[in-house]
Amino acid sequence: MIILKAHKDTLSEDWKEISEEEFLDNTEGGGYWKKGTALKTLKETGNLWTSFALFKVKRNGTNIPHERNVKIYIETSQSELLEVCTCLDDENTIRKIIEAYEDIWGETLENGRTSTDPIINNWEGSTTVVENLKTGEQDLFV
């Protein structure tokens, strides 16, 4: 499996190949994903994110195109929309992403820790909004 990474601030244009070790360090090692979940999720869905980077799988020398992509946001208790990630329009994938953030948020609070991730810091009282990238339509995810 070949893993590609792009920083969010480059608008996903500059994908570079990284090792599995670097991927795990950037995701689980950085506290963005729970230990043992990032690689499994990447293999199942073909893509993954943190607050600073996007990751995807490259197979057979080509990137995996997904025509059915959605963008996930949280709407904060102050009615601000914060982008979480772009992923395949699949209920199980979306649910896994939301559950991973819920776990990270809960563990951060339970252990009296703080986070620099704006998603984690605004998770409490937020709602999840999913935008269909093809139509621009937005719906609450429940």
Instruction: For the beta carbon of residue 136, count every other beta carbon within 10 angstroms.
Output: 8
Element (H, E) at 38: helix 38-45
pTM, 2 dp:
0.56
* 107-44-94-31 Cα dihedral, nearest 10 degrees: 30
Neighbours of 120 (CB within 10 A): 20
DSSP assignment of 19-77 equals -HHHHHHHHTTTTSS-TTTHHHHHHHHSEEE-SSEEEEEEETTEE---SSEEEEEEE-T
Q: Binning pLDDT at 50, 70 and 90, where does residue 64 land? A: very low
Helix (H, G, I), strand (E, B) or coil at 107: helix
pLDDT tens column, 1-10: 788 888 877 6
Instruction: For residues 81-106, give the mean pLDDT.
Output: 89
The answer, yes or no, to whether residue 130 has pLDDT greater than 50, is: yes
